[in-house]
Amino acid sequence: MPSSTFPTLTTPAGPTLPEAPAWNRQRRSAMPAHRYRDAHSRVDIPLTDREWPSRRLLQAPLWVPVDLRDGNQALAEPMDPARKRRFFELMVAMGYKEIEVGYPSASRTDYDFVRLIAESDIAPDDVTLVVFTPARRDLIERTVESIRGIRNDVVIHMYTATAPIWRDVVLGQDRAGLRQLILSGGRDVLQLAGDLPRVRFEFSPEVFTLTEPDYALEVCNAMTELWEASPDRPVILNLPATVEIATPNVYADQIEYMHRHLDRRDSVILSVHPHNDRGTGIACAELAVLAGAQRVEGCLFGNGERTGNVDLATLALNLHAQGVDPMIDFSDIDEIRRTVEHCNRIEIHPRHPYVGDLVHTAFSGTHQDAIKKGFAEHRRRAAAERRPEREIEWRVPYLPIDPADVGRSYDEVIRVNSQSGKGGIAYVLETEFGIELPRRLQIDFARRVQQHTDASGSEVAGDQLWGLFREAYLAPATESPVELVDCSTSGRSTSVTLRAGGVERTTSRDDAGTVEALTAALAEAGHPVEVLSLHQTSMSAGSTGDALTLIEYRRGRTTGWAAGLDRSVHSATLHAVMRASADA
């Protein structure tokens, strides 16, 4: 199509996208788009010779998870101390070397968690801890109190919003007044913590993306001068996309402008903190690193205010998929997901990059055929080169990475669809019996159905499918070594009586739920079982009307599924746990 078909529209800000051609004359929407301003009219970035488009990502930046602070404050039900500790220990085990652990002046829970770290050994010596505070003296004092005695390196992270609308509407300050407010907070930090060993400083001009570039540069240079940034004690300047307001290239331009014009650049660690309001947080972070950022703050799987913080898992595994070591261990991504879901009380979407239950599953026949051929070619190349398959370059259609890299099996990739299509497994159970199976249980059950159909060579009707399900997950074990005699709750205490070898034993747990009390009693009886997930549904559509509890369990290195069926949800859950203990 000749270029004359696309006349270019110009504005004082420069060239824009071409006008839509005749074949793309879509109707106007009913939404009032005229009420909004584009980012270029609000932030004019004096950068014309940008270098970031020609660069490549060749190494991982410093990752800083902020789940315990930014992610936690976005939860409807913030983490309790046990969940905070479990999340922290997960991040340490994964290899994070700098972790934001809380906002000590915001709540007693956050303050106490920082004190727990100070008074225990849960933080390895090589992990740097970050604490967050506004630029207000009383809150800075509380923050400094929380870190006293910590043996690790500590970063005190001070922030203040700097964008015009925040200055006008929230803070009531002009540029000069806000600069003095920020410097006052910086002086308080220096006075209260400047002489503490192993303490460094971080400053965030909140809403950096909507702040005038010259003002952001002025304030950041003032802070590095005040804090005497030096190569052996660098200051972190964190430039957050607190609210994502433009295409990712605009953020990259903003970061490159700061990277090239900051004073004391060799004494600054340039950090970014992208949010995901436009759904492009990942791209913003990646382009920001190309533009000069050395450090990225975000959350595992992208939890955070509104649409979330940038997803550190996706960023890291994007590097992995390009042959760059992300420096973080995601080799058991399902365990990571379970921990994050437990701590956040938020389930991860089945289509979430890399971690979702469906991301390695092909439902299309053409996709599945290509994947099978890719696996066959991968095995052929490994045999020809006489090398293990795990050492051969990964080139399988539709699979950006080898599922085994993140601890996934190949069964869910090449078998689930063929079986769910063949017998309509999940669909039949839901429509005929009202049972909604979790995706991982669908995968497990599909393997069993295939064994049956391979032996019989026939399709499976609804009643047969339900019979196979009962046999696999509900039928009592032939010889159960332990029997549940009673489980009851009185006040805050739950009592469990088990019979093993003809001997009954009763144990009690305070402030424990039914499942927690029962699994603890089983462990004491020598039959430990860990419940990984619990799902409750009900039978309907002409069946029994009973409650059905489905649990995913682990014992040692073995995982499996068990179910319990009863009129009572409570009893169904107990039956499921006991079946799991017998299976394990």
Copy the structure tokens of residue 157. Answer: 């992270």
Q: Let me know: does 548 contact 445? Beta carbons within 8 Å.
A: no
For residue 440, what are the CA distances in angstroms to 358, 362, 573?
A: 9, 15, 19
Distance, CA of 228 to CA of 194 (rounded, Å): 10
Nearest 5°: the CA angle 88, 94, 97 is 75
309 is in an annotated binding site: yes
Distance, CA of 525 to CA of 520 (rounded, Å): 9
Residue type, 480: S
Distance, CA of 407 to CA of 290 (rounded, Å): 30
Please state at what angle helix 281-290 crosses helix 312-321, rounded to 10 degrees.
60
What contacts 543, CB < 8 A, 6 or more positions away? 433, 434
Rounded to the nearest 5°, which phi and psi values hold at 510?
Answer: -90, 145
For residue 87, what are the CA distances in angstroms to 92, 336, 338?
A: 9, 9, 11
349 is in an annotated binding site: no
Q: What is the DSSP letter of 552?
A: E
Q: What sign results for the dihedral spanned by CA atoms 73, 79, 80, 82? A: negative
Q: Let me know: does 63 contact 320? Beta carbons within 8 Å.
A: no
**What are 558's strand-pairing partners?**
555
What contacts 13, CB < 8 A, 6 or more positions away? 40, 41, 44
34 is in an annotated binding site: no
Helices (H), 49-167: 72-73, 81-94, 108-119, 137-147, 164-165
- Helix, strand and coil content of the chain, in percent to the nearest 5, comes to 45, 20, 35
- Terminus-to-terminus CA distance in the chain, angstroms? 66
Could you tell me which of 210, 131, 219, 138 has the C-alpha nearest to residue 179? 219
Helices (H), 424-568: 425-433, 439-456, 462-469, 514-524
What contacts 392, CB < 8 A, 6 or more positions away? 378, 381, 382, 385
Rg (CA), the chain: 28
Distance, CA of 97 to CA of 328 (rounded, Å): 10
Residue ranges at the known binding site for Mg(2+):
70, 273, 275, 309
Residue ranges at the known binding site:
70, 273, 275, 309
